[in-house]
Amino acid sequence: MLPWAGVLGFLLLLIFLCVRVWVRKAKVPSSSGAQLVCKPSALAAYLESQCQALKSLCEASWPWRALPSLQTLASMMGPLDSRVHFVRTYLQLSDEGLVALDWAVGPAQQKRRQTSTICSTPVLLLVPNSFGKVTRNISKLCHVALLHGYHPVVFNRRGQNGCPLSTTALQPYGDPADLREAVRYIRSQCPGALLFAVGESTGAGLLFSYLGECGSSSHLTAAGCISPIFDPRGWFEAGCPWLWQQLLLMSQKVWLSRFATVLGEVLPLDRFFGGQSLRELEEVLFCQAQTWDLYWERNNPLRDVDEVAVPVLCICSQDDPMCGAPRDTLPFELFETNPYFFLVLTQGGGHCGFFKDSLGGAFWSHEVLLEFFHSTVDFLLTEDKPKGQAKKRGARPVLKVTQGRSGCRQESCCPHNTPDIYSWQRSYTH
């Protein structure tokens, strides 16, 4: 009964804090719509004219907009969408580790065991938060993506969301090596499909790292991020608000307790389970043979941001209870100077809680992302037509944007283009 009593106490405290915020904001008028921050370009102008969802944010007057913590809780810990089922593929990596790919299917398709080897429908790769839980936000996005003709697939890190831990190696915050191998596998299964990606919360950091390291060889058409954390080191060091930190600490300790026997041989888990901050837990897991400074030098998600070569839309709110004030946490200069990055900044929404009408309804952020992907493809095809570069059905459009920076990495520099180092038959399906 003790753990449930603690959770109940957290929820009661959350309700109390939400009521205080609601009372404080009750007399403050809220604006509709969202602010688009980006460098002026032809693509930016096209998106502003074509993405109608940007103009329809919060047109309905509903009281939950004044409760960012409650929106965040409903998004991150609410019930999953029961209409979405998953077919899991375990992918064995080059170092014998395992990651899991969960292919979303509707109720009528749940008995199918695997995707077709030749897939022409666009694939939406979802990178959840780094704390190992598939949220309501992710499951709802899978449902909406299915309705829009996408084939969603969720990337699960080593040991997370029921994926076995076959080695003692865990995935550092910003190391995209496992994600690269997952993308290679997806492309081998769906060679003619356009590939899009969405990162959620801390999962956006892994997506940023992948896009930066691979540059023009990422094989993505466009990407999106919901409530990304742009400065994870500062976030770990400053700590998120007490309530959220306690919930995340409890979640991490429960998750790692499953592997305590094997990881206890290589890590000081007594320090991990006794840790009182997220930074302490991160240091125990990844800083035994390196300093904190060196860890973030290698894992800062924006370390290669100038190499990103596909359009990226980031959706953030001004009342994010986990990240803090936008003026302190958002890199506005990045969006104002880099033509590949677009920021949608809303007044409300909390952290990943961009609900459209009610806490049990659809997410406005999902509509924006799917419209962004659709409009980006339309723009690329429109731009190529006058040049006589007609695209074959299912071919990936190529974005040509002048950055005013050093050129993107060459194709040969990305591990995507190295010879296959293992056989795809080594993956197996449950």
Active site residue 320: yes
Catalytic annotation, pick one of 304, 351, 357, 378: 351
Active site residue 293: no
Secondary structure of the chain as H, E, C letters: CHHHHHHHHHHHHHHHHHHHHHHHHCCCCCCCCCEEECCCCHHHHHHHHHCHHHHCCCCCCCHHHHCHHHHHHHHHHCCCCCCCEEEEEEEECCCCCEEEEEEEECHHHCCCCCCCCCCCCCEEEEECCCCCCCCHHHHHHHHHHHHCCCEEEEEECCCCCCCCCCCCCCCCCCCCHHHHHHHHHHHHHCCCCCEEEEEECCHHHHHHHHHHHHHHHCCCCEEEEECCCCCHHHHHHHCCCHHHHHHHHHHHHHHHHCCHHHHCCCCCHHHHHCCCCHHHHHHHHHCCCCCHHHHHHHHCCCCCHHHCCCCEEEEEECCCCCCCCHHHHCCHHHHHHCCCEEEEEECCCCCCCCECCCCCCCEHHHHHHHHHHHHHHHHHHHHHHHHCCCCCCCCCCCCCCCCCCCCCCCHHHCHHHCCCCCCHHHCEEC
Catalytic annotation, pick one of 304, 320, 328, 374: 320
Which sequence positions are flagged as catalytic? 320, 351
